[in-house]
Structure 1
Amino acid sequence: MREVTPTGLNAPASTRVAIVCFDGFDELDCFITLGLLNRLRPLGCSAELCGPGSAISSMNGVQLQLQRPLEWANEAEAVLFGSNLYNRALAENSALLDRLQLDPLRQRVGALGSGSLLLARLGLLGDMPACCDAATRPWLLEAGVRVLENEPFHAHGPVATASGGLAAPLLAAWLMLHLQGEAATREALRPVVAAGAREPAVDRLLAQVRSACAGGWEHPA
Structure 2
Amino acid sequence: MTGGTPPQRGEELLLARVSAAAGRAHLGRRCATYAAHAHAAPAGGIRGLLALVRSGLPSVRANPDARLDLYERGMTVVVKGRIRIVRYDTTSAFRQDRAFTLTDAGGERITLSLGESEEWIPKIQRAVTEAQLPLALARLGRGERLAFGDIWLTREEVGSGVASAQWSQVQRTEIRDGLVVIGVAGAGNGPEAVASGIPNLFVLRALVECLRTESGHP
Structure with more of its chain in helix, by fraction: 1
TM over 0.5: no
Give the TM-score band, short-chain normalised: under 0.3
Structure with more of its chain in strand, by fraction: 2
* TM score, norm. by length of structure 1: 0.22
Q: Which has the higher contact order (CA 8 A, sep 6+)?
A: 1
The higher radius of gyration belongs to 2
* TM score, norm. by length of structure 2: 0.22
